[in-house]
Amino acid sequence: MLKQRGSNEPLDRAEIHDVLSNDRRWRVLELLSDEEPRDLRSLANDVAAAESGESPAPRQVRQSVYVTLHQNHLPKLDSLDIVKYDDTSKMV
């Protein structure tokens, strides 16, 4: 069961399902499994390449992934204390 970082409280089933039911969030967590800090741009490039099957991914795909990670997925993961996302420095 996923636990909130710095907390003994596990996430409830609905939160876990919500996080893991989205392929893009799943892929982000997979890419961050080594726990090394990543900048948003390189993370978006890796996600876009995996989704498109092309390396590098087409510019439009990279841009779309970047925007959705920044505006949606990373803030959600940060709010649940699964990852730490600094939206100023764009570091995860």
Distance CA 41, CA 70 (A): 10
Q: What is the Cα–Cα distance from 85 to 43, expressed in whole angstroms? A: 12
Q: Mean pLDDT over residues 47-68, rounded?
A: 97
Q: How confident is the model at residue 8 (pLDDT cuts 50, 70, 90)?
A: low
Q: Is the pLDDT of residue 47 over 90?
A: yes
Those residues whose C-beta lies under 8 Å from the C-beta of residue 64, and which sit 6 or more positions away, are: 48
For residue 35, pLDDT over 90 is answered with no
With the C-alpha atoms ordered 7, 2, 15, 78, is the resulting torsion angle positive or negative? Answer: positive
Instruction: Specify the pTM.
Output: 0.86
Helix (H, G, I), strand (E, B) or coil at 75: helix
